[in-house]
Structure 1
Amino acid sequence: MKGVLVTVFSLLISYMGMAKDIETLSPDKNLKLNVSVDDDVSMQVYMGTDLLFEVKDIHLDTDHGLVPTRRAKVRSVNRSSVDRIVVPEIKEKFSEIPEKYNETLITFKDKSKLQFRVYNEGVVYRFITDLEGDVVINDEHAEFIFDQSSILTFQQDSSMNSDYEAPYIVKNISEIEQGKTGNLPALLQTPSSVNVLFLESATEDYPCMWLGKGEENLQAHFWNYPKGYNSIKGNSKNRRAILVCEDYIARIKGSRSFPWRIFAIGKQETDLLTNQLVYLLAPECKLEDTSWIKPGWVTFDWWARRGLYNVDFKAGINTETAKYMIDFAANFGIRYFLFDDGWTYKEDLTKTIDGLDMPEVVQYATSKNVDVMLWVTYDLFDSQMDEALHQFEKWGIKGLKIDFINRSDQEVVNFYWRAAEQAAKHKMVLDFHGAYRPDGLRRAYPNVLTREALVEFEQNGGTYKDNPDHHCTLPFIRNVAGPMDYIPGTLNNATKQSFRFNHDTPMGQGTRAHSIALAVITESPMQMLPDPQSDYYREEECTRFLTKIPVEWDETVPLKGKVGDYVALARRSGNVWYAAAITDWTPRNMDLDFDFLDEGREYTMEILKDGVNADIRAIDYKREIVKIKKGDQIHLSMVSGGGWIARIY
């Protein structure tokens, strides 16, 4: 009854025209949102009594005018609260996700609405409109006002054809030049060391939001709707690159809700490691049956076929090579084998090159309890979606890796949703590459298991970008948005001094223990093995340990962390725990407490850690078996680029 009285009271105040400042507290009362309705709509976010940031002049610029209008009049303010448990279809961080928030819905006299929610973990808002017919959105405006000495970490980029693989830059807001742009997630660390991570969710039929630097502050930035493409000279990897745009960002139905603008907030950096706001704010699952969706490890042929040895066939894209890799998958309990680039006959997705018998390969894989996936480009798949999916289903294909999307405008966002829906009809899982970051699509369509949108392992073939500093950044930023296809677990490990470029058989920067620990640190329900299968056979002890690591987790416990420097966490799958830690290029000692274990039980802990000479030869590791119980503490010593991982059972 108390909640009803609060709602009635707020309605009465707004009707009387007295409510210009509307306050909402988080359930734990640590965060406060204040919405100001005056000449424009703005909001201020406080932690305790400290102002964290402001968002000024929140509005849509449309062909119907500004929404809400200038000097908007409030018609009503409705308040509600939610406290429930959400059970995800795919267990990325948790098997159960608590959802608890206080909501304020402001309805203006022009019938537009702004919906605000305050969680213990952050603050969010979105527009809701009720306009007739189609509406053109010229722009969406918001100015984000932080202390100018706040530190911004994001992927700075200037291309509407971005592959979302720019390295992170770290600068004070005041150091960012006017006009510079970058994509989300973007982390702001205030002078008081509070962490605010920009994210978004429910980005359906609308372009993705980026950040831009205005005259002084950060502001919302969107790429306009495409008008012309690189279609004449392009191939299927760049044919959809935009050359010219319309003068608006979206054309939409006038009656709809818009994407959520999310500010995930953590007093400690490790608070971000378990933030689930992107998932919670996404549309609920649209599939009646999800039992066919199978997370798992993947072995694939891209680098592998270039480095095979001790075989009696010519390695390549052919039936013999595929069967060898499928045998490897079966031997180590790996769910998927993926044909990467090169399997198609010219640009026809329904035909294979000579020497590759797809029905025979799939039949062989099925007999070994292994599923087959195919790599396709966005351009070819979008052009041939219906006929390709029917042929893939006829072959028995269980998943697709869709690559070279390289855009985030409204048109391409709709492709993601259409691809997810159509693939689900044919019971196929998806991995998006050359893709923008997760935005909640995976909750609506859980067959979308993972995506790229980061500097990942392949960059080692010709850059220094994928280094341990980067590895220690990803969990706090990119992985908060959702699963990432980093491709952990290389056994071709290098120190900072010994690292060299080799595109065909790339090295990984960091030690063997660091590389295997990344399979726990980097979160994805679909993890891929980068190396030739011959290497994994040679290093069977590490391979067995690596491929036993689950890809779904019932529980995640942050242990220690500092963005870009180090991270340690524990994850549980059933009755088995994994604990992992990595460091940047700085050698580091660390004490880990095992308070997350059950009381009164003794556990066996199988450890892989840096070997005594790992600082010189990165492949050096040591395996240990020890006993451990709740309350024990373990001292770790990691070399430069080092790591530590344990299986606890």
Structure 2
Amino acid sequence: MTPLIKKTNKMTMTNKVLTLFTIALLLGLSQHTVAQNFKISSRDNQTTINVNVDKQITWSVTKYGVEVLPEVKIDMSVDGKPLAENPKILSNKTITYNAPITAVVPHKSKEIQDVYNELQLKFKGGFGLQFRVYDEGVAYRFHTKKRGEIEINSETLDITFRSGTRSLFPEEKSMYSHYERLYLDKKLDSIASGQFCSLPVMFNTTDAIRILYSEADTYDYPHMFLQGNSSNKLSALFPKAVAEIKPQPGRRVDRNVIITKEHSYIAKTNGTRTFPWRFFVISNEDKTFIEQDMVFKLSSPLAIENTNWIKPGKVAWDWWNANNIYGVDFESGLNTATYKYYIDFASAYNIEYVILDEGWTKSTTEILGFNPDIDVKELIRYGKEKGVGIILWCLWKPLDENMTEILDTYAGWGAKGVKVDFMQRADQYMVNSYTEIARECAKRELLVDYHGAFKPAGLRRAYPNVLSYEGVRGNEHNKWANYITPEHNLTLPFIRMAVGPMDYTPGAMRNAQEKNHSINFERPISLGTRAHQVSMYVIFESSLQMLCDAPSAYQKDEHTARFISQIPTIWDETKALHARLGEYLAIARKNGDNWYVGAMNNWKARTLDIDFSFLPEGDFEMTIFKDGANANRYAEDYKIEKINVDRNTRKTINLAKGGGWTAILKKR
């Protein structure tokens, strides 16, 4: 009996060990083979993100019942190791958020309603993810919680689109760029490996759904680019952190550099932080891209206490018109008399600022002293007397090398702001430089306008003294090219302007239809009608809005100048009335008690019906600036008229080829 009992006990122990081993093995395998899925939808239930956590992290988006983004793969390589390889979830949480944001400098709306549902995932290994779903789009970002500094070697974003998707592709030849691109209509599978674009970028699906992609809240981190591989997939590309540079030999030694050495990483940064939001605006209505404000909503809140000194406004600008002043008793050019004339013009037309562009300094590198023919201190004094502020242009490179002394000097003179030019990069150091300039200028109550710049990515919410960015192929290109067409002008609001203000520099007073156009660097001519240029003051968003032509040109046609001078540069409310990318656009905007309507057209003459039901109760006097009867032949032909309207008014407007229509509505 005893041996039998011993044998039985031995077998029982063996079975127990095998059972425990089997359970442990199955548990271990389950952690690697059983995927976890999460779903989160927008408030209107039209948009849904499906997140899949398996051996890697992927997600997809459904909108209007269509899977518009079949697969998005994401990861980050930190200190040489991928974060999301066999990821293990520690916790998940869903929140709903609904609160207003008040914009200090409103480009679309003063009160922005921030409404979203958010999925929060926390993973083993000290990282997490946030997914947000808005009615107008989706967004995600990583965050990490690690000690000390970390190196981000790379970031993975592989976006797979539906077959047949096309892109309006702002192709770059180099990441060293002014980011002033045309939008090339390309099938995704025609974009080969090695071809890449800057952001923002627009995609058009075969289901007539548009998808805009860009980023927000980008701090201490490079900007993203997207590259192709001859398929329906695009992947993230980043500039490496710069280790060494040297000046480019030749005539542009003061502004262009050659990157001679790069680090192996794209960013070295704090180990505990959030990373930039990556977002998609998705809609089958083009109006959505005009009215949405995703970058602002996804960006860090106000970082400065006193904002009362920040005054948006219009600017009389010198460089585009080559100081072509006439009918005066002095020789125009880079001299004190010319700029006093600009100040007199600005004062007479209630224009808030004059920019002294390239040429006012002793040299482009010696920017603490001025050109002996220009007395900057006297111009600032004279401008103050006339109620006009002076903004000073400078190159980024010398500013970066001596920022404290230069900004102290400009502020000490009484300048109102700086226009910083020729950054031309989007690596981590340059992104940090933008932040430093904004912060240091805010300390000294200086406004900022970035030229030679990448696109807006959220800095202006934290530092509302940042009033505008270039990063747009705008009116200046009319000085040397003929591709700034009405179609291009009607592409910009849906893509580039969708991420923030753009310093396009409107206001050309020499205008031509396509067959009459010619290129003239000293006396540039715009494509499209005079009314097309005027409508930009309502349609194009920039709280520091230029009048690009010469004071003499505006004074010669005082009616145009007086009309433009009445249009503000910030807006309490924005409503898109008609919108078709590349074809036409009509927008109504509110400032105080007044409303403003702008309409623009491509090369096809058309009519649009304007419904004034956006108006409050009461009667309004409407002053209209529209294409003249002969604008299809002579682009400078226009007509100004006044009529009375109310919220029950419906009006059909006529737009010439490359035409425009603008109305100022004041309550009676």
- Shorter chain as denominator, the TM-score bin is over 0.9
Call closer, same or farther: CA 1:218–1:15 in 2, change over 3 Å.
closer
What is the CA–CA distance in structure 2 between the aligned matches of 1:232 and 1:490, rounded to whole Å?
A: 34
* Structure 2 residue matching 1:272: 3-state secondary structure: helix
What is the CA–CA distance in structure 1 between the aligned matches of 2:229 and 2:268, rounded to whole Å?
A: 25
Instruction: Name 2:525's counterpart in structure 1.
Output: 507
2:151 to 136, 139, 162: 136
Instruction: Name 2:81's counterpart in structure 1.
Output: 65
Instruction: Name 1:3's counterpart in structure 2.
Output: none
Shift in Å at residue 342 of structure 1? 0.8
What is the CA–CA distance in structure 2 between the aligned matches of 1:472 and 1:548, rounded to whole Å?
A: 23
Instruction: Name 2:225's counterpart in structure 1.
Output: 210
What is the CA–CA distance in structure 2 between the aligned matches of 1:241 and 1:336, rounded to whole Å?
A: 35
Instruction: Name 1:627's counterpart in structure 2.
Output: 644
Check whether the contact 1:293–1:429 (CA below 8 A) recurs between aligned residues: yes
Shift in Å at residue 232 of structure 1? 5.7
Instruction: Name 1:358's counterpart in structure 2.
Output: 376
Task: For 1:310-389, list aligned pairs within 5 A.
Answer: 310-346=327-363, 347-389=365-407
What is the CA–CA distance in structure 2 between the aligned matches of 1:622 and 1:386, rounded to whole Å?
A: 50
Check whether the contact 1:154–1:184 (CA below 8 A) recurs between aligned residues: no
Instruction: Name 2:115's counterpart in structure 1.
Output: 100
Q: What TM-score do the two structures reach when normalised by structure 1? A: 0.95
Call closer, same or farther: CA 1:54–1:236 in 2, change over 3 Å.
farther
Larger radius of gyration: 2
Call closer, same or farther: CA 1:342–1:55 in 2, change over 3 Å.
farther
Instruction: Name 1:146's counterpart in structure 2.
Output: 161
Which deviations, in whole Å up to 9, do the C-alpha atoms of 1:64-118 show, x marking residues without a partner? 41112x1211110011111111101111111100010011110111121011111
* Structure 2 residue matching 1:391: 3-state secondary structure: helix
Shift in Å at residue 501 of structure 1? 0.7
Instruction: Name 2:483's counterpart in structure 1.
Output: 465
Instruction: Name 1:23's counterpart in structure 2.
Output: 39
What is the CA–CA distance in structure 2 between the aligned matches of 1:241 and 1:312, rounded to whole Å?
A: 46
Task: For 1:279-290, list aligned pairs within 5 A.
Answer: 279-290=296-307
Residue 200 (structure 2) pairs with residue 185 (structure 1): yes
Call closer, same or farther: CA 1:357–1:180 in 2, change over 3 Å.
same
Instruction: Name 1:263's counterpart in structure 2.
Output: 280
Moved more, 214-223 or 419-428: 214-223
Check whether the contact 2:100–2:114 (CA below 8 A) recurs between aligned residues: yes
**Match for 2:249: what amino acid?**
K
Check whether the contact 2:299–2:461 (CA below 8 A) recurs between aligned residues: yes
Residue 235 (structure 2) pairs with residue 219 (structure 1): yes
2:586 to 568, 572, 583: 568
Shift in Å at residue 32 of structure 1? 0.5
Which deviations, in whole Å up to 9, do the C-alpha atoms of 1:602-622 show, x marking residues without a partner? 221111111111111111001
Shift in Å at residue 247 of structure 1? 2.5
What is the CA–CA distance in structure 2 between the aligned matches of 1:89 and 1:611, rounded to whole Å?
A: 38
Question: Would you say how many aligned residue pairs link Structure 1 and Structure 2?
Answer: 634
What is the CA–CA distance in structure 2 between the aligned matches of 1:241 and 1:498, rounded to whole Å?
A: 41
What is the CA–CA distance in structure 2 between the aligned matches of 1:527 and 1:321, rounded to whole Å?
A: 21
Instruction: Name 2:291's counterpart in structure 1.
Output: 274
Call closer, same or farther: CA 1:129–1:480 in 2, change over 3 Å.
same
**Match for 1:26: what amino acid?**
S
Instruction: Name 1:556's counterpart in structure 2.
Output: 574
Moved more, 262-271 or 433-442: 262-271
* Structure 1 residue matching 2:369: 3-state secondary structure: strand
What is the CA–CA distance in structure 2 between the aligned matches of 1:591 and 1:262, rounded to whole Å?
A: 33
* Structure 2 residue matching 1:350: 3-state secondary structure: coil
Shift in Å at residue 497 of structure 1? 1.0
**Match for 1:108: what amino acid?**
F
Check whether the contact 2:475–2:484 (CA below 8 A) recurs between aligned residues: yes
Call closer, same or farther: CA 1:20–1:588 in 2, change over 3 Å.
same
Report the RMSD for the aligned CA atoms in angstroms: 1.6
* Structure 2 residue matching 1:83: 3-state secondary structure: strand
Q: What TM-score do the two structures reach when normalised by structure 2? A: 0.93
1:35 to 42, 51, 55: 51
Shift in Å at residue 230 of structure 1? 3.7
Check whether the contact 1:150–1:173 (CA below 8 A) recurs between aligned residues: yes
* Structure 2 residue matching 1:348: 3-state secondary structure: coil
What is the CA–CA distance in structure 2 between the aligned matches of 1:83 and 1:15, rounded to whole Å?
A: 36
* Structure 1 residue matching 2:133: 3-state secondary structure: strand
**Match for 1:59: what amino acid?**
D
Which portions of structure 1, spanning 4 or more consecutive aligned residues, are displaced by more than 4 angstroms? 14-19
2:211 to 185, 196, 200: 196
Which deviations, in whole Å up to 9, do the C-alpha atoms of 1:293-350 show, x marking residues without a partner? 0100000221345311011111111111111110100000001010000111122111
Unaligned runs of 5+ in 2: 1-29
Residue 69 (structure 2) pairs with residue 53 (structure 1): yes
**Match for 1:486: what amino acid?**
Y
What is the CA–CA distance in structure 2 between the aligned matches of 1:233 and 1:540, rounded to whole Å?
A: 46
Check whether the contact 1:15–1:75 (CA below 8 A) recurs between aligned residues: no
Which deviations, in whole Å up to 9, do the C-alpha atoms of 1:562-591 show, x marking residues without a partner? 111111111111111111111111111221
Instruction: Name 1:168's counterpart in structure 2.
Output: 183
Identity of aligned residues (%): 37
Which deviations, in whole Å up to 9, do the C-alpha atoms of 1:507-541 show, x marking residues without a partner? 11110111100111111111001111001011111
Check whether the contact 2:472–2:504 (CA below 8 A) recurs between aligned residues: yes
Shift in Å at residue 237 of structure 1? 4.8
